[in-house]
Amino acid sequence: MSFTSINQNTIEYKGHRYQLDLSFRMVLLYFQAIRDEGLTVAERLEISLKALVISDVDNLDIQAQSELLELIFNTKINNDRDRIRAKVLKSGKRSFDFVEDESLIKAGFQQQYGIDLDKVTLSWERFTTMLDGLDENTQFQKIVHIRQAKISDDMEPEQQEYLKKMKLIYGLKQAKPNSDGKLTHDELEIELANLDLPHKLLRKQELKKQGKI
């Protein structure tokens, strides 16, 4: 958003203007709903639109709801920084997750800005700008750096082992890069890390039945 533009929380779709709620909490609720595999497509759309759209959308059929939601995402939520980041990170590997890293993000805002995210309301635009501005002194950025760091051959063996352990500890639980749905070796280690031998064997059997190993 440029200095001269006005942040209008409205959007026009098929000749009708809809009032939006683009506070960061509502956008995060949208993200949570849209990827909830326990909900039907219709339920995801309903929850997402109730979170983001203040105006009445009951007259829209499921196709129109989907189109409206896509329009909101592309024009109001997925900003230029996100599009550039997606092009640069072609592997698609995420370095943070709003749900898993909620406590880290809250701590980072409190540490750097003196803002308690449980008590303030920020627009999505301002929230993401401030999130990008968190510096390396915050635990959030330290962990993001660990996730992004590559283990290279020119590292000392001790460095490689340390970084591997840190990635296991701080890796995203929801990151599943294998297209076949199977866990990688490192992800399997995370699954089994806190279990004793009998429970490790039981957990492996469960994962085999689920087709994850």
- The pLDDT score that the predictor gives to residue 69 is 93
- The pLDDT score that the predictor gives to residue 4 is 47
Asked whether the predicted pLDDT for residue 89 surpasses 90, the reply is: no
Output the six-digit token pair for 102.
């909620």
Q: Give me the mean pLDDT over the 16-32 stretch.
A: 95
Q: Rounded to an integer, what distance in angstroms lies between the CA atom of residue 180 and that of residue 174?
A: 15
208 burial level (CB within 10 Å; 0-12, 13-18, 19+): exposed
The whole model's pTM is what?
0.72
Output the six-digit token pair for 6.
């006005």
- The pLDDT score that the predictor gives to residue 78 is 84
Q: Which of 76-80, 134-138, 152-156 has the highest mean pLDDT?
A: 134-138
DSSP 173-207: TT----TTSPPPHHHHHHHHTT--HHHHHHHHHHH
